[in-house]
Amino acid sequence: SLSIVIPVHNASCWLDECLQGIVDQDYTGSMELSVYDDASTDGSRAIVEGWRERLERRGVSMVISGHDSAQPRGVGHAKNQAVSQSSGKYLCFQDAITKRCLCFSQLIGCQVRRDPEGSTERYTRWINNISQDQLSTQVTHTQCVCVCVWGGSRARQ
Q: Give the tens place of pLDDT for each residue, 9-51.
A: 999 988 998 899 899 888 889 999 999 999 999 999 999 999 9
* Total number of domains in the chain: 1
Strand order of the β-sheet with 31-38 is: 60-67, 31-38, 2-8, 90-94, 149-153
Q: Is there a domain that residue 35 lies in? A: yes
Q: Is there a domain that residue 11 lies in? A: yes
Those residues with Cβ within 8 angstroms of residue 101's Cβ, 6 or more apart along the chain or in another chain: 112, 113, 114, 115, 146, 148
Alpha helices in the chain (DSSP H): 12-23, 44-50, 52-57, 75-85, 121-128, 132-142
CATH number, domain at 30? 3.90.550.10
Q: Is there a domain that residue 70 lies in? A: yes
- The sign of the dihedral angle between the CA atoms of 147, 116, 54, 6 is positive
Q: Is there a domain that residue 37 lies in? A: yes
Q: Is there a domain that residue 87 lies in? A: yes
Closest CA to 110 of 83, 92, 89: 92
Residues of the chain with pLDDT under 70: 95-116, 119, 127, 132-157
Q: Is there a domain that residue 12 lies in? A: yes
Confidence (pTM): 0.67
Instruction: List the domain range (segments joined by +) for residue 66.
Output: 2-98+146-153
Q: Is there a domain that residue 114 lies in? A: no
Q: Is there a domain that residue 51 lies in? A: yes
